[in-house]
Structure 1
Amino acid sequence: MLDLSPSLVVVVAATFFAAGIVKGVTGMGLPTLAMGVLGALISPLAAASLLIAPSFVTNIWQLFAGPSFGVLALRLWPMMLAIVVGTVGGSSMLAGGSTLLTTGALGAALILYAAFTLLARQLRVPTDREPWLSPMVGAATGIVTGATGAFVMPAVPYLQALGLERDELVQALGLSFTVSTVALTAGLVWQGAFEVDNLFASVLAIAPALAGMWAGQVIRRRVSPSAFRRWFLICLLALGAKMLADAIF
């Protein structure tokens, strides 16, 4: 059971509020930022447990706010199925209690995601390659999710490369993140690593996450999303480098 001291409660609330702001501005980033910050303070397993409820609620909101749920579900179901299989299978790494391994893996995932998003050109995936590429990307995303609790790689750049319209892309990200959240919960339960007592703390994190999303939507109307996203990714890159260095040295 996670020992929620008053100081940790404040840190958790502040983290999910900040992560909600990022999601409100960019449409993503809540689990990545939350896992990055909390994973440096508590065990990655405990951080992943706290992530479950706020991630699920915010992603469901994002998923059903879009226009094309049925069409996207039919198009992306092989990827979603592979995410579930990969996440449940990879959850043994997160549940195994090897703090250095999971912290280092999370740091590497953050570095890879931030560097790719900052530096890489926009990719394009031809439609005829989706039938075999989607399950591969889904399985890889699932393994990373199961090992680190972060949902972004390589799902986010792949979905961005499908040429979806803006609202469709946001909804597709919501679909991927929702499936990943459910699969991570199932994996932790299957491994016997999910403590029901932590669910209460996770539910409490919903309020600051939703408040942050609302604030992020306000900010999005006043600040350039590209500038905000750039500095967010730079901070994420630095955080990932620190976590990876701590695990290695």
Structure 2
Amino acid sequence: MPHLLLIFIAAVFLLAGFVKGVIGLGLPTVSMGLLAVAMAPAHALAIVIVPAILTNIWQTFAGPYFLAIVKRLWPLLLGLVVGIWLNADMMTGPYARYGTVLIGVLLVIYAIIGLRRVSITVRPRDEKWIGGIIGLVTGVISAATGVQVVPSMPFMQALGMKKDELIQALGVFFTAATLAQALNLSAAGILDESVAVPGVIALAASFTGMATGQAIRTRLEPEAFRHWFLIAMILLGIYLAVVASYEIHFA
């Protein structure tokens, strides 16, 4: 892998880790969006997998709610894994070239939802069947793009969890997603020794960025940072969708 690309990967994960350190999420979303500028989504996800799994496992068990979360969200998690399995060939099959366009569109949708602060409520009696559908849809989308925030994020925010419980629930959800994605990539022969060096670089940069973001979080205005971060995601999403669509059309 060219040295310039390795430097680019380090910079991407340093920024993605920093965002996660400041606002508590965004590492896979930011890294997939930026890496898609330079490589196919499948190869980008292969590099994202290890840092995402390790950071999410830490988040999964950093709290007392694990068993309660699994009991409450098992239809969401099951639907997620099934959706990823059903769409396993999307990143490596004949439609893989559309993945970057989808990533761009999803980044725009994710950012608009965040900026508009869409607020919905899901009644407890409806959580399980709605969660199963949301998980399935998210899984299908995730298998094609590596992005797992739409439509799962609005749904989980609508469950009325306490802040610490929601953070741990997101860790459980993203851990299930990245492990299922890792199995898909391994079966496709993409998750192999060729991603070892960029994976180690990504991991080190991610934790460095997270530590930096957490250290200066008290000096920043998190809401202002989040606002401009989401605007940047819209611009990046538009860029990816337009450029990828142009390349597909004139390929």
Alignment of 1:226-245 (within 5 A): 226-245=223-242
Q: 1:221 aligns with which of 218, 223, 233?
A: 218
Alpha-carbon offset, residue 201 of structure 1 = 2.4
Q: 2:175 aligns with which of 174, 178, 190?
A: 178
Give the Cα separation in 2 of the matches to 1:97 and 1:216: 39
Give the Cα separation in 2 of the matches to 1:148 and 1:75: 27
Which secondary structure state, in structure 1, belongs to the residue aligned with residue 87 of structure 2? helix
Alpha-carbon offset, residue 193 of structure 1 = 3.7
Give the Cα separation in 1 of the matches to 2:52 and 2:226: 19
2:72 maps to 1:75: yes
Residue 28 of structure 1 corresponds to which residue in structure 2?
A: 25
The answer to whether the 8 A contact 1:48-1:149 is kept is yes
Q: 1:66 aligns with which of 26, 38, 63?
A: 63
Q: 1:188 aligns with which of 185, 190, 194?
A: 185
Alpha-carbon offset, residue 97 of structure 1 = 5.9
Q: Runs in 1 of length 4+ with deviation above 4 angstroms?
A: none
Number of corresponding residues: 246
Deviations 1:16-46 (A, max 9, x none): 0110111111221100100000011111111
Which segments of 5 or more consecutive residues in structure 1 lack a partner in the other structure? none
Alpha-carbon offset, residue 71 of structure 1 = 0.7
Give the Cα separation in 2 of the matches to 1:38 and 1:97: 21
The answer to whether the 8 A contact 1:88-1:186 is kept is no
Residue 128 of structure 1 corresponds to which residue in structure 2?
A: 125
Alpha-carbon offset, residue 77 of structure 1 = 1.2
Give the Cα separation in 2 of the matches to 1:220 and 1:44: 31
Relative to the length of structure 2, the TM-score reads 0.93
Judged with a 3 Å threshold, the aligned counterparts in structure 2 of structure 1 residues 97 and 43 are, in CA distance, closer, same or farther, namely farther
Relative to the length of structure 1, the TM-score reads 0.94
Residue 83 of structure 2 corresponds to which residue in structure 1?
A: 86
Q: 2:39 aligns with which of 25, 38, 42?
A: 42
2:153 maps to 1:161: no
Give the Cα separation in 2 of the matches to 1:247 and 1:54: 26
For the aligned residue pairs, the C-alpha RMSD in angstroms reads: 1.4
Give the Cα separation in 2 of the matches to 1:99 and 1:83: 20
2:26 maps to 1:7: no
Alpha-carbon offset, residue 200 of structure 1 = 4.0
Instruction: Tell me the amino acid that sits aligned with residue 113 of structure 2.
Output: F
Give the Cα separation in 2 of the matches to 1:214 and 1:18: 11
Mean alpha-carbon deviation: is it higher for 62-71 or for 156-165?
62-71
Which segments of 5 or more consecutive residues in structure 2 lack a partner in the other structure? 247-251
Instruction: Tell me the amino acid that sits aligned with residue 30 of structure 1.
Output: L
Q: Work out the percentage of aligned pairs sharing the same amino acid.
A: 40
The answer to whether the 8 A contact 2:76-2:128 is kept is no
Alpha-carbon offset, residue 198 of structure 1 = 1.4
2:141 maps to 1:144: yes
Give the Cα separation in 2 of the matches to 1:191 and 1:39: 19
Alignment of 1:201-216 (within 5 A): 201-216=198-213
The answer to whether the 8 A contact 2:40-2:97 is kept is no
Give the Cα separation in 1 of the matches to 2:177 and 2:148: 6
